[in-house]
Structure 1
């Protein structure tokens, strides 16, 4: 069995994940049958559990509205809460660093590791770390990185990138993971049952956790009135990262701020139910400064790196609603596109609908203009978002900008121009649709519809719907005639 997953082969290059065109990345993902199995196993379960969790919480709608208002309030007063958080974090003994870009953030973290004399670091799962390229930066600096999240450990062994923000190894089947462990673990398991594989990973990693000089984590929330940070995990890996090493480094986006603990608790209830369908994540921990005299454990140094990396740019470009995002992953679990192609085909650090909005900010619309186009705008993503982000509206905004900047292929622009001309001339439009409908029915009878021009993107992977016998306008006219006769 190949240890490099077919999906990761198209997009694992840290230098330029957009080197391969989007449509080619999509084709390779659709051709990968095991990928679809892996996606369905996880996202189907996630959707069922989320629906049950929401149904069992009568106050969900009210909490969702409150969560939205909390995030909008913080975004509108971001400067105030950043200053408050920094002052309280410093008061608790933490050291606060500011990074305007991904390169600056990575440089700060690597410099702190070198000052600590770190030979190895442990890292708790953090999408911000993936966003800024921190794993790659640590590798280039010659610092051994130990992923403490089990799924991230799998991704690291396979030289992959995460394909989901909650389940980074979602794209791999249990059988593939068992093969990875047999190849890379010093004492591999003999079977591919879950218990054996977890025991193998624990034995492989626990000693390395204890030996690390520095622990690096993200933060789900930054509490402004105390200077504390909150981490949420299901495995306790954040605690292994933040408590044991001498130095704890937190990397967090500036939008993670909340005014106080009560506000954080509202958002926690929304986050966990939307992400995993649970009432509360197994490990929800608040960290406030380094170890104090009398404390039995904790880091000797506590550093917080606050990262902008395009977030203030989003404020200035009408994308401030995206800064509400709690990183729960619900939008991708319910996205009809993500569930077919997985995460790597999106190219950037963030997949799915939320990634299609964020990636053009981080990597440029010229590289990522295909992502907003790869959306049906069915609205499932907004319907399940715990803070009601209008993702379809934001995606339409990117489409409009892409059109204004001339980023669509010329053939697309010409085709839409032709359609626009026809739509402005009703006789031509009705004539063209009538010819098209009858032509498709003829092709269907002859069995040629799979070879129909411009339809291969559909027919290569699924059956084409049976064409209607008449156009919509013909059906509508017939309906109106029937209605008139019945009223006569």
Structure 2
């Protein structure tokens, strides 16, 4: 996927001015947040927080053992009949998938939801080589028909209204006119059923890799994941190396916290553990299963001070809670991962110089940290990236000048008092919203109370002087 993170300010402005997007994202994120809270804390806040503690401990332990667990997983997968490949970067992963497709003479790929394949741009790569790729997750299917990218980690079309989805299906697939959500879903299911039956290649991601059993674990709701991984003769899974966990017991814990955080369910409709290709005596399932472990910068993150970003289980809870995401949607962030986690991962995967604006797309309210199921300290890492932006002299020069000027004024009591009086006078004669560029990029969307002529310090000093004067007056006995 092409990177457009440097355009965040402009794309965010367009999103803010789009009433349909504002309505759709507002409804979608609030609904998801409410469902998350009700599900996670159904048995009490203490129980929900204990689940978060357990999930965080599991991911931390597995991350600390990452190299060893990857080797163990590879050995057990090979023993299960799975062919294991390693891709150091996105291009290598795409080439490996294409080679597999050509070796097995595959021309139609049915694909389930996968952020890793979005990361590598796999769809475009395969299509340029003459292989048709069909997204089978309903949201991803709509996104593909619209020739867009997902705007949310879990809900790809959170930015779409029902009317726009209806119009897309009518235009792109010939669906008869209907306003019924059930009928739209039924039509899409029938349409995709034919693709499932025709596909000779199934492509998926993976929620977890279980090292002790060599299993690929998937959690889905629509059933398309099960179709993709069982109907075609060839199944390829592209999975980030950070998805490794140690035991089935770990998986049992994480499958309780993930759906609660993502969709507000105690358990997803479909929970799979794929242990290899079908055996000779079996009549269904793929004949060939490949798992490609994707690095694509993860090893560098693992050895950096941002390693704590790797436990992310892609639930999307931080997006739903983020006040910035709620008004900009996902496309404004300009790459695969939006929201708070995207503001960290995008600079780490693509270079801070190419996404330096994203760490500033945060109010530092801390809500993302509060809802993260594995307790990632997202605000701390966003601040670290801001510090690094300044240290590497990547920050906006005008902003740097403004900060230095502000610091100089606040270091001098006299200058601070003078600037306060000037500011108060300006506010009286020059409305806050009418300031010129570049200040108006901030002021035209905000209002502040009328500044007083005297600062708190001045008022306090006057109060003290008045008190001292009263204390010096002789006492009069009435």
Category of TM-score, reference length = shorter chain? over 0.9
CA deviation map 1:391-444 (0-9, x unaligned): 000001111111011111211111111112122223322332343244224434
CA deviation map 1:165-204 (0-9, x unaligned): 0011111111001000111114x13112211111121122
Query: Does residue 194 in structure 1 map to residue 181 in structure 2?
Result: yes
Match of residue 112 from structure 1: 100
Match of residue 49 from structure 1: 35
* Paired residues for 1:161-172 under 5 Å: 161-172=149-160
* Paired residues for 1:240-255 under 5 Å: 240-255=227-242
Distance 1:458 1:414, change over 3 A: closer
Distance 1:404 1:281, change over 3 A: same
Match of residue 5 from structure 1: none
Distance 1:90 1:425, change over 3 A: same
Q: Measure, in 2, the Cα distance between the counterparts of 1:228 and 1:301.
A: 15
Quote the RMSD (CA, aligned, Å): 2.2
CA deviation map 1:18-43 (0-9, x unaligned): 4x632211211112111101101211
Larger mean CA deviation between 328-337 and 53-62 belongs to: 53-62
Distance 1:473 1:81, change over 3 A: farther
Query: Does residue 174 in structure 1 map to residue 158 in structure 2?
Result: no
Distance 1:478 1:228, change over 3 A: farther
Q: Measure, in 1, the Cα distance between the counterparts of 2:269 and 2:321.
A: 24
Distance 1:426 1:148, change over 3 A: same
**Alpha-carbon contact 1:99-1:105 (below 8 Å) kept:** yes
Match of residue 134 from structure 1: 122
CA deviation map 1:123-177 (0-9, x unaligned): 1001111111111111211110011100000000010011000011111111001
TM-score, normalization by structure 2: 0.93
The structure with the largest alpha-carbon Rg is: 2
Query: Does residue 223 in structure 1 map to residue 207 in structure 2?
Result: no
Question: Cα distance, 1:348 vs. partner?
Answer: 1.3
Q: Tell me, what secondary structure is at the counterpart of 2:419?
A: helix
CA deviation map 1:46-84 (0-9, x unaligned): 111111112213322122112111111111111110010
- Identify which of 337, 348, 373 aligns with 1:386: 373
* Paired residues for 1:152-163 under 5 Å: 152-163=140-151
Q: Tell me, what secondary structure is at the counterpart of 1:251?
A: strand
Q: Measure, in 2, the Cα distance between the counterparts of 1:215 and 1:326.
A: 23
Q: Which runs of 5+ in 1 are unaligned?
A: 1-13
Distance 1:50 1:481, change over 3 A: farther
- Identify which of 287, 296, 316 aligns with 1:309: 296
Match of residue 10 from structure 1: none
**Alpha-carbon contact 1:430-1:473 (below 8 Å) kept:** no
TM-score, normalization by structure 1: 0.91
Match of residue 34 from structure 1: 20
* Paired residues for 1:378-457 under 5 Å: 378-444=365-431, 449-451=433-435, 454-457=438-441
Query: Does residue 464 in structure 1 map to residue 447 in structure 2?
Result: yes
Question: Cα distance, 1:320 vs. partner?
Answer: 1.0
* Paired residues for 1:294-305 under 5 Å: 294-305=281-292
**Alpha-carbon contact 1:185-1:200 (below 8 Å) kept:** no
Match of residue 357 from structure 2: 370
**Alpha-carbon contact 1:68-1:387 (below 8 Å) kept:** yes
- Identify which of 255, 275, 278 aligns with 1:268: 255
**Alpha-carbon contact 1:123-1:148 (below 8 Å) kept:** yes
- Identify which of 333, 339, 350 aligns with 1:352: 339
Q: Tell me, what secondary structure is at the counterpart of 1:226?
A: coil
Distance 1:95 1:467, change over 3 A: farther
- Identify which of 59, 80, 85 aligns with 1:97: 85
Question: Cα distance, 1:296 vs. partner?
Answer: 3.3
Question: Cα distance, 1:465 vs. partner?
Answer: 3.7
Q: Tell me, what secondary structure is at the counterpart of 2:219?
A: strand
Distance 1:441 1:239, change over 3 A: farther
Q: Which runs of 5+ in 2 are unaligned?
A: 472-478
Q: Measure, in 1, the Cα distance between the counterparts of 2:455 and 2:146.
A: 51
Q: Measure, in 2, the Cα distance between the counterparts of 1:413 and 1:463.
A: 22
Distance 1:15 1:329, change over 3 A: closer
Q: Measure, in 2, the Cα distance between the counterparts of 1:471 and 1:405.
A: 40
- Identify which of 108, 125, 133 aligns with 1:145: 133
Distance 1:28 1:479, change over 3 A: farther
Q: Measure, in 1, the Cα distance between the counterparts of 2:72 and 2:376.
A: 26
Q: Measure, in 2, the Cα distance between the counterparts of 1:282 and 1:479.
A: 68
Query: Does residue 258 in structure 1 map to residue 242 in structure 2?
Result: no
